[in-house]
Protein backbone atom coordinates (compact mmCIF):
# COMPACT_ATOMS: atom_id res chain seq x y z
CA UNK A 1 0.00 0.00 0.00
CA UNK A 2 1.25 3.47 -0.82
CA UNK A 3 1.60 6.18 1.82
CA UNK A 4 -1.77 7.47 2.82
CA UNK A 5 -2.89 10.64 4.43
CA UNK A 6 -4.29 10.32 7.94
CA UNK A 7 -7.77 11.13 6.67
CA UNK A 8 -7.67 8.39 4.06
CA UNK A 9 -6.51 5.85 6.63
CA UNK A 10 -9.91 5.89 8.25
CA UNK A 11 -11.95 5.69 5.10
CA UNK A 12 -13.35 2.34 4.00
CA UNK A 13 -10.69 0.61 1.90
CA UNK A 14 -13.15 0.06 -0.95
CA UNK A 15 -14.11 3.60 -1.75
CA UNK A 16 -17.85 3.18 -2.19
CA UNK A 17 -18.45 1.04 0.90
CA UNK A 18 -19.74 4.02 2.84
CA UNK A 19 -20.99 3.11 6.32
CA UNK A 20 -22.58 5.00 9.08
CA UNK A 21 -23.63 6.60 11.29
CA UNK A 22 -22.04 4.08 13.69
CA UNK A 23 -18.46 3.32 12.69
CA UNK A 24 -15.59 1.32 14.08
CA UNK A 25 -13.21 2.77 16.60
CA UNK A 26 -9.66 2.88 15.32
CA UNK A 27 -7.07 0.57 16.82
CA UNK A 28 -4.52 3.31 17.26
CA UNK A 29 -2.43 1.14 19.56
CA UNK A 30 -2.32 -2.62 19.02
CA UNK A 31 -2.32 -3.16 22.77
CA UNK A 32 -5.98 -2.21 22.65
CA UNK A 33 -6.57 -5.57 21.00
CA UNK A 34 -4.67 -7.51 23.61
CA UNK A 35 -6.57 -5.65 26.31
CA UNK A 36 -9.89 -6.51 24.67
CA UNK A 37 -8.91 -10.16 24.47
CA UNK A 38 -7.69 -10.27 28.05
CA UNK A 39 -10.84 -8.60 29.27
CA UNK A 40 -13.14 -10.83 27.25
CA UNK A 41 -15.14 -13.48 29.03
CA UNK A 42 -15.34 -15.65 25.93
CA UNK A 43 -13.55 -14.64 22.71
CA UNK A 44 -13.52 -16.31 19.30
CA UNK A 45 -11.07 -15.89 16.43
CA UNK A 46 -12.75 -16.19 13.02
CA UNK A 47 -10.35 -16.87 10.15
CA UNK A 48 -11.00 -16.50 6.42
CA UNK A 49 -9.48 -18.45 3.56
CA UNK A 50 -7.05 -15.67 2.68
CA UNK A 51 -5.04 -16.53 5.78
CA UNK A 52 -3.45 -19.27 3.69
CA UNK A 53 -2.69 -16.85 0.83
CA UNK A 54 -1.39 -13.70 2.50
CA UNK A 55 2.37 -13.74 2.88
CA UNK A 56 3.98 -12.13 5.90
CA UNK A 57 7.59 -12.01 6.96
CA UNK A 58 7.34 -15.14 9.10
CA UNK A 59 5.54 -17.21 6.45
CA UNK A 60 1.83 -17.13 5.84
CA UNK A 61 -0.78 -15.25 7.82
CA UNK A 62 -2.01 -18.56 9.18
CA UNK A 63 1.35 -18.96 10.96
CA UNK A 64 0.79 -15.70 12.78
CA UNK A 65 -2.79 -16.65 13.60
CA UNK A 66 -1.58 -19.79 15.34
CA UNK A 67 0.82 -17.70 17.44
CA UNK A 68 -2.00 -15.37 18.33
CA UNK A 69 -4.41 -18.17 19.17
CA UNK A 70 -1.82 -19.90 21.32
CA UNK A 71 -0.78 -16.74 23.10
CA UNK A 72 -4.36 -15.90 24.07
CA UNK A 73 -5.73 -19.44 24.22
CA UNK A 74 -8.26 -18.43 21.59
CA UNK A 75 -10.59 -20.93 19.96
CA UNK A 76 -10.52 -20.63 16.18
CA UNK A 77 -13.38 -20.95 13.70
CA UNK A 78 -11.71 -21.35 10.36
CA UNK A 79 -12.91 -21.32 6.78
CA UNK A 80 -13.23 -25.02 5.91
CA UNK A 81 -10.81 -24.65 3.02
CA UNK A 82 -7.89 -23.84 5.31
CA UNK A 83 -8.59 -26.04 8.30
CA UNK A 84 -5.94 -28.42 7.05
CA UNK A 85 -3.37 -25.60 7.21
CA UNK A 86 -3.91 -25.46 10.97
CA UNK A 87 -3.89 -29.21 11.39
CA UNK A 88 -0.65 -29.72 9.48
CA UNK A 89 0.97 -27.09 11.66
CA UNK A 90 -0.06 -29.08 14.72
CA UNK A 91 -2.73 -26.64 15.88
CA UNK A 92 -5.83 -28.57 16.87
CA UNK A 93 -8.00 -26.00 18.61
CA UNK A 94 -9.71 -25.15 15.36
CA UNK A 95 -13.26 -25.76 14.20
CA UNK A 96 -14.12 -25.77 10.54
CA UNK A 97 -17.12 -23.58 9.87
CA UNK A 98 -18.13 -21.49 6.88
CA UNK A 99 -18.17 -17.76 7.59
CA UNK A 100 -21.89 -17.27 7.04
CA UNK A 101 -22.63 -20.08 9.49
CA UNK A 102 -20.40 -18.59 12.18
CA UNK A 103 -21.90 -15.15 11.69
CA UNK A 104 -25.45 -16.46 11.66
CA UNK A 105 -24.87 -18.28 14.93
CA UNK A 106 -23.25 -15.22 16.50
CA UNK A 107 -26.55 -13.36 16.05
CA UNK A 108 -28.38 -16.05 18.01
CA UNK A 109 -28.34 -15.30 21.74
CA UNK A 110 -29.16 -18.92 22.46
CA UNK A 111 -26.12 -20.31 20.64
CA UNK A 112 -23.77 -21.84 23.18
CA UNK A 113 -20.68 -21.65 21.03
CA UNK A 114 -18.37 -24.19 19.48
CA UNK A 115 -17.70 -25.82 22.84
CA UNK A 116 -21.24 -25.61 24.18
CA UNK A 117 -19.92 -23.43 27.01
CA UNK A 118 -21.86 -20.24 26.35
CA UNK A 119 -22.12 -17.13 24.22
CA UNK A 120 -19.14 -15.30 22.84
CA UNK A 121 -18.69 -11.68 23.81
CA UNK A 122 -15.80 -10.90 21.46
CA UNK A 123 -15.14 -12.05 17.88
CA UNK A 124 -11.93 -11.21 16.05
CA UNK A 125 -11.86 -11.47 12.25
CA UNK A 126 -8.80 -11.95 10.07
CA UNK A 127 -7.99 -13.27 6.60
CA UNK A 128 -10.99 -12.13 4.58
CA UNK A 129 -11.71 -10.40 1.32
CA UNK A 130 -12.52 -6.82 2.19
CA UNK A 131 -16.12 -6.78 1.01
CA UNK A 132 -16.84 -10.14 2.60
CA UNK A 133 -15.95 -9.08 6.11
CA UNK A 134 -17.51 -5.64 5.46
CA UNK A 135 -20.88 -7.33 4.98
CA UNK A 136 -20.52 -9.94 7.69
CA UNK A 137 -19.46 -7.32 10.22
CA UNK A 138 -22.44 -5.21 9.17
CA UNK A 139 -24.74 -8.13 9.95
CA UNK A 140 -23.17 -8.51 13.38
CA UNK A 141 -23.22 -4.78 14.10
CA UNK A 142 -26.96 -4.66 13.56
CA UNK A 143 -28.12 -8.04 14.77
CA UNK A 144 -25.71 -9.05 17.50
CA UNK A 145 -25.90 -6.10 19.87
CA UNK A 146 -23.94 -7.55 22.76
CA UNK A 147 -21.04 -8.86 20.69
CA UNK A 148 -17.88 -6.80 20.25
CA UNK A 149 -16.10 -7.36 16.96
CA UNK A 150 -12.51 -6.62 15.98
CA UNK A 151 -11.11 -6.60 12.46
CA UNK A 152 -7.44 -7.56 12.38
CA UNK A 153 -6.98 -7.21 8.61
CA UNK A 154 -4.92 -4.31 7.27
CA UNK A 155 -7.85 -2.21 6.07
CA UNK A 156 -10.37 -0.10 7.89
CA UNK A 157 -13.55 -2.08 8.49
CA UNK A 158 -16.18 0.44 9.56
CA UNK A 159 -18.74 -2.10 10.75
CA UNK A 160 -16.46 -3.67 13.33
CA UNK A 161 -16.46 -2.35 16.87
CA UNK A 162 -12.69 -1.92 16.52
CA UNK A 163 -10.57 -1.91 13.37
CA UNK A 164 -7.10 -1.08 12.18
CA UNK A 165 -7.03 1.89 9.83
CA UNK A 166 -5.77 1.38 6.27
CA UNK A 167 -2.12 0.70 6.90
CA UNK A 168 0.89 -0.62 5.04
CA UNK A 169 1.81 -4.28 5.28
CA UNK A 170 4.94 -3.46 7.30
CA UNK A 171 3.01 -1.44 9.79
CA UNK A 172 0.31 -4.09 9.99
CA UNK A 173 2.80 -6.85 10.69
CA UNK A 174 4.43 -4.77 13.40
CA UNK A 175 1.06 -4.23 15.02
CA UNK A 176 0.19 -7.90 14.85
CA UNK A 177 3.46 -8.76 16.57
CA UNK A 178 2.79 -6.27 19.34
CA UNK A 179 -0.57 -7.89 19.99
CA UNK A 180 1.02 -11.29 20.53
CA UNK A 181 3.86 -9.90 22.61
CA UNK A 182 1.54 -7.97 24.88
CA UNK A 183 -0.71 -11.01 25.30
CA UNK A 184 2.26 -12.89 26.70
CA UNK A 185 2.65 -10.29 29.45
CA UNK A 186 0.55 -11.40 32.40
Partner 1 sequence: MSSERNVRIKIGELKSDIGFLKNLEVSIGKVIGEEWAEEAGPTQFPSIVDLREWDFKLLQRYKPFYMPFCDVCCLCTFGKCDLTGDKRGACGLNMAGQQSRIVLLACCIGAATHASHARHLVEHLIEKFGRGHPVDVGGLNVEVEAPITRLVCGVKPKTLGDLEDALNYVEREIVRLLSATHTGQEENNLDFESKVFHVGMIDHVAMEIADIAQISALGFPKADPEAPLAEIGLGVVDSSKPVILVIGHNVPPAAEIVNYLMENGLYGGVEVTGLCCTAHDVTRYNPKAKIIGPISWQLRFIRSGVADVIVVDEQCIRADTLIEAQKIKAPVIATSDVNCLGMPNRTKDEVDKIVEDMVSGKESGALILDPSKAAEVAVKTALLVAPKRMKFKALPDINDIIEGARKCRKCDDCRRACPNDLPIREALAQALNGRLDALASLYDECIGCARCESACPINLPLHSFIVKAAERRLKEEKYRIRVGRGAIQDVEIRNVGSPIVLGEIPGVVAFVGCANYPRGGAEVAEMAVEFAKRRYIVVSSGCAAMSIAMYKDEEGKSPYEVFPGAFDAGGIVNVGSCVSNSHIAGAAIKIASIFARRRLRGNYEEIADYILNRVGAVGVAWGAMSQKAAAIASGFWRLGVPVVVGPHGLKYRRMLLGRKDRSEDWYVYDARTGEKVYVGPAPEHLFYAAETKEEAMVMIAKLCMRPNDTTKGRAIKLSHYIDLHKRFFGAVPDDVHLFVRTLADVPLTMRDEVVKILEEKGWKENIIPDPTLLPRLVRRKAGE
**Using CB under 8 A as the criterion, which residues of the chain lie in contact with partner 1 when the complex forms?**
1-2, 4, 13-16, 19-22, 48-49, 79-81, 83-84, 87-88, 96, 98-101, 103-105, 107-108, 111, 128-132, 135-136, 138-139, 141-143, 145
Task: Tell me the closest approach of the beta carbon of residue 60 to partner 1, in angstroms.
Answer: 16
Q: Which is nearer to partner 1, 41 or 116 (CB)?
A: 116
- As a whole number of angstroms, the distance between CA 107 and CA 139 comes to 8
Q: How far is the CB of 129 from partner 1 (least distance, A)?
A: 6
From residue 158, how far is each of 40, 70, 138, 183 by CA, in Å? 21, 28, 8, 25
Whole-angstrom Cα distance, residue 130 to residue 180? 23
CB of 183 to partner 1, least distance (A): 27
- Compute the distance between CA of residue 14 and CA of residue 17 in angstroms, rounded to an integer: 6
Q: Smallest distance from the beta carbon of 101 to partner 1, in angstroms?
A: 7
* Min separation Cβ 84 and partner 1, Å: 3
* Residues in Cβ contact with 14 at an 8 Å cutoff, skipping those fewer than 6 apart: 130, 131, 134
Residue pair 130/155 in contact (Cβ under 8 Å)? The answer is yes
Distance CA 13, CA 154 (A): 9
Separation between Cα atoms, residue 183 and residue 33, nearest integer Å: 9
Q: Which is nearer to partner 1, 9 or 31 (CB)?
A: 9
Q: Which is nearer to partner 1, 39 or 129 (CB)?
A: 129
Count how many residues are written for the chain. Answer: 186
Give the Cα separation of 49 and 44 in Å (integer): 16
Between 1 and 178, CB nearer to partner 1: 1
Q: Give 106 or 180: the residue with its C-beta nearer to partner 1.
A: 106
CB of 72 to partner 1, least distance (A): 24
How does DSSP classify residue 37? H
Q: Which of 8/184 has CB closer to partner 1? A: 8
Amino acid sequence: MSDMSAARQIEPWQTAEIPGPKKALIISNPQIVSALIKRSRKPLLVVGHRAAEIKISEGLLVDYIIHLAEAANLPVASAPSIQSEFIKRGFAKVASMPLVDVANRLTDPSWMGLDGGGQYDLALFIGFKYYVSWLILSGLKHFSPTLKTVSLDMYYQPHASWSFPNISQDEWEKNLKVIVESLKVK
